[in-house]
Amino acid sequence: MENRKHSFKEWLIATRPWSFPASSMPVLVTLAYLNWCGYAIDWLAGVWALLNIVIFHAAANTWSDYFDYKRGVDREDAIGGMSIVSGEFQAVEIKRLAACLLSVAVAVGVNLMYYAGLPVLYFGLVGCVLILLYPWLKYHALGDLDIFLTYSVLPILGTSFVATGYMHKEVLWLMLPIGLITVGILHVNNSRDIEQDSRAGIKTFAMIIGKRASVVFYIVELMLPFVAILVAAICGAMPWWSLAVVVALKPAVDNCRAMLKLPTEGMKALIGIDEKTAMLQLMFSLLLSVSLFVAAML
């Protein structure tokens, strides 16, 4: 098949932008939290970090799509990751896109390192390793751990450093509520694709625990963040305003209800739930961020 010219919109869609709340929201919430804690924040560095991790995320998505296609995970009857399978892009084009995005992310990160300090290099190196190893880790049931590290631990600690010059221990309160919803995006996707992934000869965490346990695990991933925020508020680690996240409980419950249909209805019951989980992350994190900014002003 001959290469054809793609529009910017097509290239953008190939990066799966609907998933970007998973990478951008940890940065935003961390900045809002540090602001509430009363730390002096370098907002330029914070925005810089947010841009950098989103580019890294786009590189990770395309890198994963390329390997899923080469491994036979994504086929014509699969759901999601269809940029290559559909024939819209050639595999080599997605591979080159991933390489270009990763190069840009590294360049932006190096400049951020010169601006904020050497530790940025260490965060960047670990992030690159986690991105490059993600396909292999996913195929060996370690994808959930990779995602938690990549889109919770690293961005939260990294943002704390670039924005204030220190990795404040208080930000540990954010890792569980933000990280679990993000891991839920991957988990519901892997739960939906258990049969397809098994056919491809890979082993995801969802496959190991089975459909029924995967349902329970997903519900915990979506409900525990609300409990974590309540506990943090009771302990004084967050303002009572942070309980505004309860507004996001309705879509979270709706997603859980859809997940409950997996054992009986199969993968069709979960079509689009990965995107809805990403939107839940967006809603939950925005509510938390706004509540923290409001509390800081009062």
Contact 152, 178 (CB under 8 A): yes
pLDDT tens digits for range 288-298: 999 999 999 98
For 159-173, 195-209, 273-287, which range has the lowest pLDDT when averaged over its residues?
195-209
pLDDT tens digits for range 80-138: 556 787 778 898 999 999 999 999 999 999 999 999 999 999 999 999 999 999 999 99
Of 291, 284, 216, residue with least CA distance to 249: 284
pLDDT tens digits for range 235-292: 999 999 999 999 999 999 999 999 999 888 888 888 889 999 999 999 999 999 999 9
Q: Which pLDDT score is estimated for 1? A: 46
| Annotated domain spans of the chain | 10-297
- How many CA atoms lie less than 13 Å away from 61 in the CB half-sphere? 26
Q: Distances from the Cα of 197 to the Cαs of 35, 68, 72, 153, 259, in angstroms?
A: 43, 10, 9, 27, 18
Euclidean distance between CA atoms 22 and 222, whole angstroms? 14
Pick the CATH number of 10-297 from 2.30.30, 3.30.160, 1.10.3470, 1.10.600: 1.10.600
